[in-house]
A and B are shown apart, each in its own frame.
Chain A
C-alpha cells in the first residue's frame, strides 16, 4: 500500500475515533433535520406543488454539503487551532493535505445518511420520482470538496479563530437566503444573478438536481464550473495549509 494511502487511512481512523461522540450526535441531528425539513416545508408552503417541492428537495444535498464543508469544518478547525492540536498532528509523518482529507472524509460520511433520507423522504412525501445517475458520486464529491477547500482556506487564512466562526455564519446565511440553491436564480435581482453566474453555488445545486432527478440542467457546464473552482480551491488550500511561519 502506498505510504500516503496508509497515512490517510490511519488518519481517517484517528479522526473517526476523535470525533466519535460528536459524530453520533451529528448523525442524529442530520436525520432530524432531514425529516424536519421535508415535513416542515409542507407547513411553510401549504399549497406547495410537486414541482416546487422537487426543487427544494433536490437543493437540500447541496445545502447540507456546503454547510458542513464551509461552516462545520472550519469551526472544528478553529477550535483545534485554539487548542494547539495542529502542532502535534502536523508533527506526524502524514501530509497536511492527507490529514485534512481524512477530516473531510469523516465529516461528509456522517452527513450521507441525512442527505439520502431527505431526498428519499421528499420524493415519497411530495410524490415525485427520482432518476439517480452514477454521476451522483463525482457530483457529491465535487460539491463537498469545493465547499471544504474554500472553508479550510478561510479557517487557516483568517488569523483569529473567532473571526472564522463569524465569517462562516455569515456564509451560511448567504447560501440559505441569497443563493439559488433552494429556489431558481431568476427570483434574485439581476446583479446577484450575475454574481452567481461566476460563483460555484448555483452550479453545485445544478449538479445535485441533475444527477438525482430528470430536471433539465446543463450538467456539463455545472461539472466544468464546479471542477474549475475545485482546482482553484485545492491550489489555494495546498498553499495555505503548507505555509510555515
Chain B
C-alpha cells in the first residue's frame, strides 16, 4: 500500500479528540473516500498526512517513509486541494495553476500543456486571465482543483472539491479524479457528499467523532444490511414526523427525511403505511429499495447533518 495510517490519535490542546485510533491504507491507482459530517476529523487526518500537523500517537508512512518524521517527503509526494480557498487573489487563473505545477517540479512546457488541458476540460477559458480576487467562489475552487491536479503527486488529496461547483462541472471534475487514479495516483477524496462519492470511490471509510465507523468497498459496507430493504420518507414541509410502526428497524430522522430498514416479510405492510401517509399529505414522497451508501452512512454517523434532500442533490 502506498499510504499506511496506523492507530493515529490526535488530541488538540484542551483535550479535543479529533482522531481516535484511525487506521487505513490506500493503494496506487485507487480512489479512496473519506466520508463524515463536519467536525468528524477528516481534515485533521489530512493535515497529518501532508505534514502540517503531527499525530499525538500512531504512524503514517508514505511509500514506506515515515512522514511524521519527514514532512518534506509528504509535501513532495502529496498534491493537495485545501477545503479553504487558495490564496490566489493577486494571480490570474493560468498563472496560479502554472506556478503550482512548476513548484511541484513540472517543466515549463509540460505544466503549460497540462494547465491548458485542465482549463479546457473544466471550461475555465473565460477566466484564464482573470485575477483570483474577482472570480466567484465556485470558479476559485475549480482553479484550486486544477492546482492540485496539474502536476499530481503520488497521492492527490481533494478536500471537499465540489463545494460551490455547478452540476455540469462537478461531473467533469469527477471524471478527472478517476483519470488521475487511472494514471497511477492514489486519490484521497474527503467529502460529506455521500451520493457523489458512491459513484467515484473504489473504497471508503466513514468517520465520525474521530473514529472509523465503517470501511471497505460500497458492496462490503452494504453486506451487513442482509436482505433488508430501505424505506425513505420525505415529510411535507409543514408536517411533523408520524408515529413510526415497530417493524421499521433502526429509524433515523434527518431534517425532513425518515430512513429505516424493513425486513422482507414486512415490505407490503410498510408500503401500504407509506401510501396512506402520502394520501393524507403527511409526506411528499416515499421510496423503497436496497440499501444505498447513504443509508449506511446515516446509520453509522450520529449527526448526519449535511445530508441533502433528493431535489438538492446534483
Contacts and interface: CB of A to CB of B under 8 A. Distances in A.
B103 A14 contact: yes
Contacts of A94: 75, 103
A85 B87 contact: yes
B90 interface: yes
Contacts of A83: 87
Interface in A84-113: 84-85, 87-95
B53 A80 contact: no
A84 B43 CA distance: 13
B80 interface: yes
A1 B76 CA distance: 17
Interface in A116-162: none
A92 B86 CA distance: 12
Contacts of A84: 82, 84
Interface stretch (A15-23, A193-201, A219-227): A15-23
A245 B103 contact: no
A91 B148 CA distance: 11
Given A244-B53, A245-B54, A91 B91 contact: no
Interface string A12-34: 01100111110000000000000
Contacts of A87: 47, 52, 82, 84
Given A93-B75, A93-B76, A21 B90 contact: yes
Contacts of B52: 87, 90-91, 244
A17 B76 contact: no
Interface in B57-106: 71-72, 75-76, 78, 80, 82, 84, 86-91, 95, 99-100, 102-105
Interface of A: 7, 10-11, 13-14, 17-21, 80, 83-85, 87-95, 244-245
Contacts of B95: 17
Contact of B99 (A13, A80, A91): A13
Contact of B103 (A10, A17, A18, A80): A10
15 contacts: A13-B99, A14-B91, A18-B90, A84-B82, A85-B87, A87-B52, A91-B52, A91-B78, A91-B82, A92-B100, A94-B75, A95-B72, A244-B51, A244-B52, A245-B54
B80 A91 contact: yes
B273 interface: no
B105 to A, nearest CB: 7
B21 to A, nearest CB: 19
Contact of A10 (B84, B86, B87, B99): B99
A82 to B, nearest CB: 11
A91 B52 CA distance: 7
A245 B12 contact: yes
Nearest to A83: B87
Contacts of A80: 87
A88 B141 CA distance: 13
Contacts of B84: 84, 87-88
B87 A17 contact: no
Contacts of A95: 72
Given A10-B102, A93-B76, 5 more contacts: A10-B99, A88-B86, A90-B52, A92-B103, A244-B71
Contacts, number: 65
Contacts of A10: 99, 102-103
A94 B99 CA distance: 12
B279 to A, nearest CB: 51
A149 B271 CA distance: 71
Contacts of B105: 93
A245 B78 contact: no
Contact of B91 (A17, A88, A90): A17
B212 interface: no
Contacts of B88: 18
Given A17-B95, A88-B82, A93-B75, A7 B90 contact: no
A85 B75 CA distance: 16
A204 to B, nearest CB: 31
A23 B73 CA distance: 34
Contacts of B80: 88, 91
A29 B100 CA distance: 31
B50 interface: yes
Nearest to A7: B103
Contacts of A91: 50, 52, 75, 78, 80, 82
Q: Which of A11, A80, A84 has the most CB of B within 10 A?
A: A84
Contact of B104 (A19, A20, A88, A93): A93
A4 B52 CA distance: 19
Nearest to A18: B90
Contact of B90 (A20, A88, A89, A92): A20
